[in-house]
Amino acid sequence: MEEQLQILEKHVASLEARIFDKPVVIPEPPFRPEDHIDPGLIQMSKDRHLDGFCAARRVPADYYQRELEYRRDCIGAQSIDQLCKCVIYEIKDTPDPLKRYICLVVQYVDKISPQKLLDVASVVCGKKVTEVTQAKEEDATKLSGSINNAMTPVYLRPTKDFAKYHVAVVLSDKIASLNPPFFWLGGGEVDVKYGITTQKFVSTFNPIIYNISK
């Protein structure tokens, strides 16, 4: 089964090469010793067979106080469009109490449409919902295992009380169509960023790809 999946991924990669004409540049080495990346994040990458498709970088303390161009250069991104963040939302009127959270991956340069957020929440629930709010920071931290600016769907570490919840990962369609197909998001620590090829993120974390832009 795994061999068949690898063959399929190679075919998909071949097709993508015809669509995404700009080559992906993955920083080398993917994990630098001097960055002291969480061993758990590195192990997750190995366990999920992400070697060769990802990288992580520790950034300066003033990273979030600086412009996007500075952030791009810090991690070796190819454009500011590749800089992304994760926002956790709570569906207040979900019919299934265990499906109440969404982890939305969106570009920093993008703006979220409240109506489209409701629409994708309805897709997650399988029923129309009308009340979706950003999750309380305390709840989001317990759900993700990370604080604000560090949250990421690639390294969820919920507390015991929050492990019961199903977290739907929603990927902005603008990220899915990035050329080159690679983006950066949180890495579990505020000053760690994790980059991954779009195809590998989609095949590994099975997100809902949705137009959530204004």
Give me the pLDDT at residue 105, please.
Answer: 97
What is the DSSP code (8-state) at residue 126?
A: T
Reported as a single tens digit per residue, the pLDDT across 129-159 is 999 999 999 999 999 999 888 999 999 999 9
| CATH number of 121's domain | 3.90.960.10
Q: What is the mean pLDDT of the chain?
A: 91
**3-class secondary structure, 71:** helix
Q: What is the CA angle 12-186-104, rounded to 5? A: 70
Number of domains in the chain: 1
- How far is residue 104's CA from residue 208's CA, in Å, rounded to a whole number? 9
Amino acid, res. 31: F
Planar angle of CA 61, 43, 35, nearest 5 degrees? 25
For residue 72, give its domain range. 2-210
Pairing type for strands 192-197 and 54-58 reads antiparallel
Q: β-strand 101-107 against 167-172: which pairing, if any?
A: parallel
pLDDT at 118: 97
Length of the chain: 214
User: Quick check: pTM over 0.85?
Assistant: yes
Spell out the alpha helix ranges (H) of 56-168: 68-75, 114-125, 137-144
- Give the mean model confidence (pLDDT) for residues 147-174: 93
Q: What is the pLDDT of residues 3-29, one digit of tens each?
A: 555 555 554 555 555 566 789 999 999
Per the CB < 8 A criterion, the answer to whether 207 and 154 are in contact is no
